[in-house]
Structure 1
Amino acid sequence: MKINTRTDEYDRLLARHHAMRLRRQILSPEGASAARPAIGPGGTVYDGYGDQQLIMSRLDLVTPFDVLIEQLYAFMFQRRPYLRPLFPESMEFQQDHLARMFRYLIENLHRLDHVLAVLRQLGGDHRKLGVWPAHYLAFEEALAVALRSRAGAGWSVELEQAWLRMLRFAVKAMVDGAESAITEPPYWHGQVVGHERRGPDVAVLRIRTGQPYPYRAGQYATIESPLLPHTWRQYSMACAPRPDGVLEFHVRRTAAGGVSEALVERTRAGDAVRLGPPRGVMTAVDDPRDVLLVAGGTGLAPLKAILGELAERRARGQRAHLFVGARSQADLYDREALARLSGRFPWLEVTPVTGGGAGSEPGPGPLPDALGERRDWSEHIAYVSGPPGMVGAVRATLLASGVPADRIHHDPLVAAARD
């Protein structure tokens, strides 16, 4: 069983890699741009495409990543026990998150400009965890040991150097991101001023921070509950910035014992939380075109915030259409608020779409089909938010229908740190 799982993950990543390479060749027949070394942080030259080829050629030696990462952390904590308090008590989510980041890096080394933006933001976020540049050296040492142990006799110096070059590129970008955010607080103290259940597994939290929290409609924050120290999860603000400074979050309870469960079931008005810096690139753009918003589950939150900003500066005649996907009618947790929005804004049309996995992680659900059946969206500005699978499927549908890529806005499709 272990061998089959390992082979399946390797085959999946390899197939995705070949598909991306074929796409690059179609878009640029000579392939020159894909193979040309890129400029990394600090002006250094890093051939991400070359390392991508080498790592992918023997990825089967170290996948699935779960065993590799278990060995990595076991060695690091054995050699550097003082690092253990920087991590949550349960390492399950942390290990899963690192596996997703490894996959993301390997799959995107051919487009370093995209990777740099994600890594710089990640480095700024890591300041709230108490991570310093010296800690990355310990991580590199542990990764090298784990790679050799996991790969066994098939390992080589060339492969190890490719992995370490990839890691050093990522670390340099993260350190640069942390340094560029030095004037920004690593976190904000907040107090829950409202906690409202919107269903058996969804709560709306309203939080006021002790200091002004500067964000834009469509962005998200990481939240830490004192019930789970050192454990941070991403939740989008569901309102545009307000005069009273109160932030609104929509939280769906998922994994037992996680942050979402703590916030939904065990948090009350008056409780303290901490918020990391605002992040995310899916913010409202100043464009007079009609707007399409597509939400899956609690992905509705940032789109409500964007609608709030749109209402304040809407161009004359501009209209908006909001599709909200959920697994069932019962999962449309914000129906009353959506009805109020429709009544308040005559320029807004709301279409609920139920069935499949529209509001959950397993699949995209019926949202892509619903979009294809309705109308031509090629002249719209689009905002898409929800589980990565849904966002990817909706994006593909919109691209196929003629919406230019630069008019489809969503956060990078790196699996979000949510539970």
Structure 2
Amino acid sequence: MTDPTDAYEEYRVLLARQEAKRLRRRLLTPDAPDVPDAPDIHHTHEVHDTRDSRDRDVLGSVDARPPRTAPGRDGADDQRLITESLALVTPFPELIADLYAALFERHPYLRGLFPESMAFQQAHLERAFRFLIDRLDRPDEVAAFCTRLGRDHRKLGVRPVHYDVFETALVEALRRRAGTWWREDTEQAWRRMLRRAVTAMVRGAEAALAERPFWDVTVTGREERGPDLAVLRVAPAEPYPYRAGQYALLQSPLLARAWRPFSVACAPRADGELEFHVHRTGPGGVSDALVTRTRVGDPLRLGPAQGAMTLQEGDRDHDAVVVASGTGWAGARALLQDLARRRVPGRVAHLFLAARTREELYDLDAVAAWEARAPWLRVVTVLGAAAEGDAPAEAVSRHAGWPPSGPVFVSGPPALAATVRGLCARGLPADRLRHDLTAAAATTPDLPDRTAGPGGTAARVA
């Protein structure tokens, strides 16, 4: 068994070498963009070095040059090879279990970077793999997704060197799963996919070096709004910048290193406090800790504000449409507050609240108060089994004028992606749609069998 002291010493050596290589590269080519160190893809198995075997095992590889793509290979080629290999290496839960087993066996000190329950992380990684494979032929989408992911991973203590050992563990797991059927060209396609992602993640983290990875906040208020649903008010220790409609990742000290996205339920306030609507989606997750075990005075951590579901220049000159399901009402509420501040006389806002049953609707007194004091607001309730599917899109086309001239916001669980597809199928231009359903679902699930969107609501039909 490896002595823990030796393991951490290996880790310090690994970090020191990584930083030395980065410094040398910057001194030699000061104008070159920073990229993560990674072994050259053509020399993965033919490395000759005078260092001892222990050093090579720590590094995973000793040839540390920027990742590159082989001539004639693009994302579509790699996508085809990887897709063809899935039958050999999946199901994903087993592949990912093998990956982490290899990672922690070789580098046990890395276990401390992960939550106690690996179910959270395994579900997160499966969704990330699916996202990358599905969009490998769309490099701009992959780059945007991974840049954001790298920015988020700063608060977890992830360093560029960690991606090297992760790649080694992934390849070991792929070979173990496929056995004698494994092919070299397929392995290189997986490596290239990972390195494309890593390059964007590192650049995202580097670009955000001047940004804070998180804020310490204190719970100042707590209200129950229904079964398994709580409204939390928090006060940051220092000013927290965000825009109405954005979401942020929350962490409770009760679950170290586990983060989950929630929409901020208010536009920026003079007192600096924020509000979050949290629906408990099951036992043991972040939402459970926040709803059942968090009280006034407790500390939490809050990641940087994210998301594109915000008002833009020129929106005030048009009517707006907001579709919300479950605690997606939180993001909708913030947008309505922002609209009230910015609105132009004669412009209206249409709010569509969707739920499978009336009992699932909450905060109806607040909605009624909005209707009473805001004659420019039109509220439509959409009930039924298709409330997170095509029904909201149908309601928008019937009640809001078609096509809407202004922005259409969709706030709630990832299942509302069916609503987005329904709106697009009816001819709504893509540049009018604003939502963060895919981003949060791909990066930060709460529990392995439920998917949480920025609104903090479980996707009940996923």
TM-score tier after normalising by the smaller chain length: 0.7 to 0.9
Q: What is the aligned partner in structure 2 of residue 12 from structure 1?
A: none
Partner AA of 1:169 in structure 2: R
The answer as to whether partners of 1:202 and 1:333 remain within 8 angstroms in 2 is no
Give the direction of change, closer, same or farther, for the CA distance of 1:104–1:177 in structure 2 (3 Å limit). Answer: same
Partner AA of 1:215 in structure 2: Y
Q: What is the aligned partner in structure 2 of residue 85 from structure 1?
A: 112
Stretches of structure 2 that go unaligned for 5 or more consecutive residues are 1-32, 36-65, 447-462
Query: Under a length normalisation based on structure 1, what TM-score does the superposition of the two structures give?
Result: 0.86
Deviation at 1:374, TM superposition (A): 3.4
The answer as to whether partners of 2:280 and 2:287 remain within 8 angstroms in 1 is yes
Separation in structure 2 between the aligned mates of residue 203 and residue 55 of structure 1, nearest angstrom: 43
The answer as to whether partners of 2:124 and 2:445 remain within 8 angstroms in 1 is no
Deviation at 1:368, TM superposition (A): 3.4
Deviation at 1:57, TM superposition (A): 2.2
The answer as to whether partners of 2:120 and 2:445 remain within 8 angstroms in 1 is no
One of 244, 248, 269 as aligned partner of 1:221: 248
Q: What is the aligned partner in structure 1 of residue 429 from structure 2?
A: 404
Give 1:88-237 correspondences, 5 Å limit: 88-237=115-264
Q: What is the aligned partner in structure 2 of residue 58 from structure 1?
A: 85
Q: What is the aligned partner in structure 2 of residue 389 from structure 1?
A: 415
> What CA deviation, in whole Å up to 9, does each residue of 1:88-126 have, x standing for no partner?
100001101100000000001111112211211110110
SS across alignment from 2:226? coil
Give the direction of change, closer, same or farther, for the CA distance of 1:395–1:300 in structure 2 (3 Å limit). Answer: same
- Shifted more, 112-121 versus 138-147: the winner is 112-121
Q: What is the aligned partner in structure 1 of residue 51 from structure 2?
A: none
The answer as to whether partners of 1:252 and 1:264 remain within 8 angstroms in 2 is yes
Q: Work out whether 1:289 is the aligned partner of 2:314.
A: no
Give the direction of change, closer, same or farther, for the CA distance of 1:300–1:226 in structure 2 (3 Å limit). Answer: same
Give 1:33-52 correspondences, 5 Å limit: 47-52=74-79
One of 364, 368, 371 as aligned partner of 2:389: 364
Partner AA of 1:315 in structure 2: V
Partner AA of 1:57 in structure 2: E
Using CA pairs below 8 Å that are at least 6 residues apart, which structure has the higher relative contact order?
A: 2
SS across alignment from 2:422? helix
> What CA deviation, in whole Å up to 9, does each residue of 1:341-391 have, x standing for no partner?
111211011112222264xxxx6374334334435331232001222222x
Q: What is the aligned partner in structure 1 of residue 460 from structure 2?
A: none
SS across alignment from 1:212? coil
Separation in structure 2 between the aligned mates of residue 364 and residue 121 of structure 1, nearest angstrom: 27
Deviation at 1:153, TM superposition (A): 2.2
> What CA deviation, in whole Å up to 9, does each residue of 1:133-187 have, x standing for no partner?
1111111110000011112222101001000100011011011000111111111
Partner AA of 1:396 in structure 2: R
SS across alignment from 2:163? helix
**Aligned residue pairs: how many?**
375
One of 74, 81, 84 as aligned partner of 2:101: 74
Q: What is the aligned partner in structure 2 of residue 260 from structure 1?
A: 287
Separation in structure 2 between the aligned mates of residue 376 and residue 319 of structure 1, nearest angstrom: 12
Separation in structure 1 between the aligned mates of residue 334 and residue 143 of structure 2, nearest angstrom: 27
Deviation at 1:41, TM superposition (A): 9.2
SS across alignment from 1:53? helix
Partner AA of 2:179 in structure 1: G
Partner AA of 1:406 in structure 2: D
The answer as to whether partners of 1:221 and 1:237 remain within 8 angstroms in 2 is yes
Q: Work out whether 1:413 is the aligned partner of 2:438.
A: yes
Q: Percent identity over the alignment?
A: 54
Stretches of structure 1 that go unaligned for 5 or more consecutive residues are 1-39
SS across alignment from 1:198? strand
> What CA deviation, in whole Å up to 9, does each residue of 1:297-337 have, x standing for no partner?
11121121111111111123111101111222121111111
Query: Under a length normalisation based on structure 2, what TM-score does the superposition of the two structures give?
Result: 0.78
> What CA deviation, in whole Å up to 9, does each residue of 1:192-227 have, x standing for no partner?
001111001111111110011111111111111011
Root-mean-square deviation (Å): 1.9
SS across alignment from 1:255? coil
Separation in structure 2 between the aligned mates of residue 123 and residue 136 of structure 1, nearest angstrom: 11
Deviation at 1:283, TM superposition (A): 1.3
SS across alignment from 1:146? helix
Which structure: larger Rg?
2
Separation in structure 1 between the aligned mates of residue 384 and residue 291 of structure 2, nearest angstrom: 24
Q: What is the aligned partner in structure 2 of residue 380 from structure 1?
A: 406
